[in-house]
C-alpha cells in the first residue's frame, strides 16, 4: 500500500506547488481532481487531451517529484434530472476516462449519480425508506430506467479504454453502502468497483472492516479514501443520523467529517489498515481532508503523521490481526 492524498485540498495553489508539498511530506501517490464537484483547477482533461505538450508537462510534473497518480477524480451526477447538468458531468467523466488511459492511470473516481423521481423531475431524489409505497416505486424506476442502463453503457466504454471506475458510495446517491455498490457491479459489469471511504459509512453505523472484506471478496476494491467521521452522541441520541443541517453547524449536527484519528481512534484505524493488508489491497491510501475544525495544513499533516505511523507498524507486523 502507498500513502497519498487527494490534491483537491490544495486547490487554491498551482499544481506544481501542491505537488511540491505532497512530495516534501514523503507521500507516494496523488489523486487529482479532473472535474465535477472537485473541480478541474489542477487538471482539465479536455485541454490536456487536445494539447500533447501540455499533457506531457502535466505528466512530467508528477513523475519528476517521484509521485504516482493513483486516480483522476470527477465526482459528479451524470444521472441528474436536469439534462444539461447530467450532460456536463457525463462529458467530464468520459474525458477523464480518456485522459486516464492516455496517462496510464487505471482508476477514475466518481459517484453513481442520483436521478429524480420521474422524467419530469427538476432535482435528484434520494429514497431512504420503502414506505409509503411511492418510495419503493420511485426506487425501482430509478434503478431499472436510469442507473443500470447508464452504468452498463459506461462499463462498455471503460473496457474500450482499459480503465476502471471506482464509485464512491455516498448517501444522497443511488450507491451509498455495500449492498448497493455490489448490486451496481453485478448488474452492470466488472469495470465498476469501489472507492472505499470509511467516513461515509461510519455515520450509517456500518463497520468498514466488514465492507472492505465484502468488496475484496467481489474483486471490487479499487481505491481507498482516508477520512474520518466524528459522531456527536448527544445530537445523535436526540435526532438520529439523518441530518440536513449545514456542515458548518458543527455544534448542532449529529456528525461531521474529521481528519483520520479525530472521529475514531487508533484501534479502529488499526483494524481498517490491517483489513486492507489482509485482503491483499496494494493501492493508495488517499488522504481526503474535509475537517471544518482544522486548517488544510493542520489536517493534512496530522493525517500524514497518523497514517504513516500505522502503516509502518503494520508493515513490520505490529498491528497484524489488530
Express each pLDDT in 212-227 by its tens digit: 999 999 999 999 999 9
pLDDT at 157: 98
Question: What are the b/e assignments for 168-207, b being 16+ CB within 10 Å?
Answer: bbbbebbbbbbebbbbbbebbbebbbbbbbbbbbbbeebb
Phi-psi region of 192 (alpha: psi -120 to 50; beta: other; left: phi over 0): beta
Spans in the chain with pLDDT lower than 70 = 313-322
**φ and ψ at residue 104, rounded to 5 degrees:** 75, 25
- d(Cα 91, Cα 85) in Å, to the nearest integer? 10
pLDDT at 51: 97
- d(Cα 154, Cα 110) in Å, to the nearest integer? 12
pLDDT at 290: 96
pTM to 2 decimal places: 0.95
pLDDT at 321: 44
pLDDT at 318: 54
Phi-psi region of 22 (alpha: psi -120 to 50; beta: other; left: phi over 0): alpha
Pull the grid cell for residue 268: 479502529
Pull the grid cell for residue 50: 487536445
Write the CB contacts of 305 (distance below 8 Å, at least 6 apart in sequence).
none
Per the listing, cell 425501482 goes with: 140
pLDDT at 313: 65
pLDDT at 312: 77
Domains of the chain by range and CATH?
2-315 (3.20.20.150)
**φ and ψ at residue 209, rounded to 5 degrees:** -65, -45
| DSSP letters spanning 54-104 | HHHHHHHHHHTTT-EEEEEE----TT-SSHHHHHHHHHHHHHHHHHHHHHT
Amino acid at each position: 500500500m502507498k500513502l497519498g492524498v487527494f490534491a483537491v485540498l490544495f486547490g487554491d495553489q498551482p499544481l506544481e506547488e501542491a505537488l511540491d508539498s505532497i512530495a516534501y511530506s514523503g507521500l507516494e501517490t496523488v489523486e487529482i481532481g479532473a472535474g465535477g464537484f472537485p473541480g478541474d483547477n489542477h487538471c482539465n482533461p479536455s485541454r490536456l487531451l487536445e494539447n500533447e505538450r501540455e499533457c506531457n508537462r502535466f505528466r512530467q510534473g508528477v513523475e519528476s517529484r517521484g509521485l504516482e497518480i493513483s486516480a483522476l477524480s470527477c465526482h459528479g451526477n451524470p444521472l441528474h434530472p436536469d439534462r444539461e447538468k447530467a450532460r456536463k458531468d457525463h462529458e467530464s467523466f468520459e474525458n477523464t476516462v480518456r485522459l486516464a488511459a492516455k496517462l496510464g492511470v487505471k482508476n477514475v473516481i466518481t459517484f453513481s449519480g442520483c436521478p429524480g423521481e420521474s422524467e419530469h423531475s427538476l432535482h435528484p431524489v434520494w429514497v431512504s425508506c420503502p414506505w409509503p409505497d411511492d418510495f419503493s416505486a420511485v426506487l425501482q424506476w430509478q434503478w431499472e430506467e436510469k442507473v443500470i442502463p447508464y452504468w452498463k453503457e459506461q462499463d462498455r466504454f471503460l473496457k474500450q479504454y482499459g480503465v476502471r471506475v471506482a464509485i464512491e458510495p455516498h448517501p444522497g446517491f443511488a450507491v451509498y453502502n455495500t449492498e448497493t455498490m455490489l448490486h451496481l457491479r453485478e448488474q452492470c459489469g466488472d469495470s465498476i468497483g469501489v472507492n472505499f471511504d470509511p467516513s461515509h459509512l461510519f455515520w450509517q453505523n456500518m463497520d468498514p472492516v466488514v465492507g472492505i472484506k465484502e468488496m475484496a471478496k467481489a474483486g471490487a476494491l479499487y481505491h481507498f479514501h482516508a477520512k474520518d467521521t466524528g459522531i456527536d452522541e448527544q445530537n445523535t441520541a436526540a435526532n438520529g443520523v439523518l441530518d440536513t443541517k449545514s456542515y458548518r453547524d458543527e455544534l448542532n449536527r449529529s456528525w461531521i467529517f474529521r481528519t483520520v484519528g479525530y472521529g475514531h481512534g487508533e484501534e479502529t484505524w488499526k483494524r481498517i489498515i490491517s483489513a486492507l493488508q489482509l485482503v491483499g489491497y496494494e493501492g493508495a491510501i488517499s488522504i481526503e481532508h474535509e475537517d471544518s475544525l482544522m486548517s488544510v495544513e493542520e489536517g493534512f499533516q496530522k493525517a500524514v503523521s497518523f497514517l504513516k505511523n500505522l502503516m509502518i507498524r503494520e508493515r513490520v507486523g505490529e498491528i497484524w490481526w489488530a
